[in-house]
Amino acid sequence: MPLALLGTGVSRGIGIGRARIVRHGDLDIPQYRIAPHWVEEEISRLTAALETARAQLRAIREQIPAAIASDIVGFIDAHLLMLEDQALTGAPAEIIRQQRFNAEWALKLQQETLLRVFDEIDDPYLRTRRDDVEHVVRRVQFLLLKGPGSHDRLGPTEEPDRVILADDLSPGELVTLHRHGVAAIVSERGGTASHVAILARSLGIPALVAVHRADQFIRDGEMVVVDGHVGVLLTGLTEADLASYRQRQTQERRRRADLRQLKDVPGRTRDGVPVELAINIELDADIAAARQVGAAGVGLYRTEFLYMNREQPPDEEEQFEQYLAVVRALSGAPVTIRTLDAGADKQVGGEIAPSCPSALGLRAVRYSLKEPELFKTQLRAILRASAHGPIRLLIPMLTTLEELAQVRQMLAAAMGELAQRGHPFDPTLPLGGMIEVPAAALCARQFAQRLDFLSIGTNDLTQYTLAADRMDQAVGHLFDPFHPAVMRLIQLTAAAGEATGTPVAVCGEVAGDPFFTRTLLGFGVSRLSMPPAALLEVKRVVLESDTSRLRPRVAQLVECSDSAAVMGLMEEINALN
C-alpha cells in the first residue's frame, strides 16, 4: 500500500532509489575509568582521533565542486576550526587527566558543557551552531570507537541512487554522499535555513527535512521516492507510479539541459526591456559559477565572509587582492561589492565586532560608520580594485540620509588618502544603497536622488517589515515575502527608481525565485541578482515576459489584502501568455 510521509521540501527535484537508514543517535558511547598509568595513552588516542577527523574534513573540502565552493567550504572550515579549538582538544584531555574517563566519555561530557552554553544564548543564529558541535564531536567519537580507517556512520553509501533517511546529517557527510551519487536525502532534523538544506540546494540534491522517524515505516533497501517540490517521501508505490515519477525526473533533467542553451542569450523581455541578470557571491571561488551560467556580472558580493572565522580583520592589501581576483575573473562585467554587513545573521568574531549585534542593533553600515578605520580600509581596497575593472559600491542597510552623507564623507576621505599615496582608482565609481529597512523603502525617492542605483534586499526588508527575525524558526510562519506590505515597499522603491531614472535591483532570495520574476519586472525592477543555480530558470521567465502586459496586472498586487490573495494574483500573472 502506498504510504506518504510529509516533511518540508528544502531542495527541489525528484529522487528515486532504495532507502538507506542512517541513525547517528544510535551511537553507544561507553563510559569507563582508566588506570592512572594509561592516562597519557588515552590522551594520545584522543589526539590521534582529532587529527584523523581533521584529515578527513580536509579531504572532504577538496572534493567540493569549485562552482559552489563558498557555501560549503565555510561550513567545513567552521568544523575544522572547532577541531583545533581548545574547547575540543584541551578540555577533553583535561577531563581524561583529572577524572580518568575514557576519551569517548570525556568528549561527551565536554559536548554537554558546550551545548548548555549554546542553549543559554538568546540568539537563533548562534543556537544553530550547536549542530556544528554535535557533528564534530560525533565524527571524533566514531573514529575512537571504530578505529582510524572508519569514516562516518553512513555505511555502504557508495552504491549510487540511494535515498538516505537520517536522523541528522553533517555538511561533511553530505559532501561524501554527493560524491557517491546519492539520489535524495531525508532528515529528521534541520529547517529551511539549516546547513544541510543550504548544502543540498547548492549541490542539487532533492531534500526533505522534518520527516520524523521514517525508519519506523520504511525498511532499509525499500524503493522510495522523494518529491522535494511538495515535501513528501513516498513508499509502497506501484510500478506504474514509479514509472510516472521516473518520467517526471527525466523531464526535469531535460528541462535543465534546455536551460543551459540560454546561457549566452541576452537577458531581455519580449518587448525589448533589458534585464541585468547577475549572481550573488560570497568568496572569490564562487566566480567560476558566473561563467557557467553566463551571468551579466556580480550583483551582490557579500564581503562579510572575508571577516569571518578570524580574530583580526583582513588588511587593505588582503582585501584588495580578493576584490582584484573577482574583478579580473569577471573580465569587464560589473562587480557590485557590498561593504561589511556584520551582525545579526552574519556574525564576525574576534576583535572585529565583539558585541554580536542583533538584527536591530549596531550592524551593517551602522557598524562601519562607528568604526571609521575599519570602514575606510575596506573602501580603499575596493577603490584600488576599481582601477582594474568596473566596480559598483553597495552600502547595506541604509536607514537615514544622514548615514548616506557620512558614507560619502568616508568615501571622499578614502579617495583622498589613495590619491596622496599615488594609487589609481575610479573616481566615478557608482554608489548604491540597499533598501532593506522599511524607512528606506518609504523614503526611496530621497535615496534614489542621491545614489547611482538601489538594490532591494528582500530578505531583510521582509524581516523588518513584518518584525519577524529571519533566523528564528519560531516566527518562520510570519516571515512572508508575499505579504502585501512587502509588495508595497518593493513597488514604492521600484517606482522611485523609475521616477528618478535610477536603476533598481533586487538581490534578496526572491530575485532567484522564478515565481517572483514577472512581478518584479512588472514593478519596473531592471536588475536581478541571485544564487548562480537560479539564474537560467529566471532568465527563461524574463525571455517569455512582456512588461507592457505585466504592469497593469502587477499594479493590482498592492491592493491585495493578504498573502493568499497576492499569491493567487501572482499565479494569474505567471500564467499570462
Interface with ligand PEP by CB under 6 A: which residues? Answer: 300, 302, 341, 436, 457-460, 507-508
What is the closest distance, in whole angstroms, from the C-beta atom of residue 437 to ligand PEP in the complex? 10
In the annotation, is 195 catalytic?
yes
> Which one, 55 or 439, has the nearer CB to ligand PEP?
439
> Which one, 71 or 460, has the nearer CB to ligand PEP?
460
* Whole-number Å distance between alpha carbons of 443 and 255: 42
Look-up of cell digits 519580449: 270
What is the closest distance, in whole angstroms, from the C-beta atom of residue 423 to ligand PEP in the complex? 29
What is the closest distance, in whole angstroms, from the C-beta atom of residue 557 to ligand PEP in the complex? 19
* Residue 345 touches Mg ion, criterion: CB under 5 A: no
Number of other CB atoms surrounding residue 571 within 10 Å: 10
The 3-state DSSP class for residue 11 equals strand
Four-CA torsion 158, 162, 163, 167, nearest 10 degrees: -30
End-to-end C-alpha distance for the chain, whole angstroms: 41
**Binding partner of residue 183 among ligand PEP, Mg ion, none, CB cut-off 5 to 8 Å per kind:** none
What is the closest distance, in whole angstroms, from the C-beta atom of residue 355 to Mg ion in the complex? 19
* Residue 460 touches Mg ion, criterion: CB under 5 A: yes
Q: Which of 24, 178, 195, 483 is catalytic?
A: 195
Look-up of cell digits 515597499: 489
* Whole-number Å distance between alpha carbons of 172 and 61: 8
Look-up of cell digits 559600491: 393
> Which one, 143 or 298, has the nearer CB to ligand PEP?
298
**Binding partner of residue 42 among Mg ion, ligand PEP, none, CB cut-off 5 to 8 Å per kind:** none
What is the closest distance, in whole angstroms, from the C-beta atom of residue 188 to ligand PEP in the complex? 27
In the annotation, is 180 catalytic?
no
**Binding partner of residue 507 among ligand PEP, Mg ion, none, CB cut-off 5 to 8 Å per kind:** ligand PEP
Q: Which of 24, 79, 507, 560 is catalytic?
A: 507
What is the closest distance, in whole angstroms, from the C-beta atom of residue 79 to ligand PEP in the complex? 22
Query: C-alpha grid cell for residue 386?
Result: 576599481
> Which one, 20 or 302, has the nearer CB to ligand PEP?
302
436 near 397, Cβ under 8 Å? yes
Q: Are strands 335-338 and 391-395 parallel, antiparallel or unpaired?
A: parallel
Beta strands in 508-548 (DSSP E): 527-530
Residue 295: which of 273, 332, 264 has the closest Cα? 264
> Which one, 173 or 460, has the nearer CB to ligand PEP?
460
> Which one, 529 or 547, has the nearer CB to ligand PEP?
529
* Whole-number Å distance between alpha carbons of 390 and 381: 14
Region binding Mg ion by CB under 5 A among candidate stretches 60-68, 183-191, 292-300, 429-437: 429-437
* Whole-number Å distance between alpha carbons of 574 and 577: 8
* Whole-number Å distance between alpha carbons of 462 and 480: 7
* Whole-number Å distance between alpha carbons of 565 and 428: 44
Region binding Mg ion by CB under 5 A among candidate stretches 294-302, 370-378, 387-395, 459-467: 459-467
Residues 334, 457, 512, 532: which binds Mg ion (CB under 5 A)? 457
Interface with Mg ion (CB under 5 A): 436, 457, 460
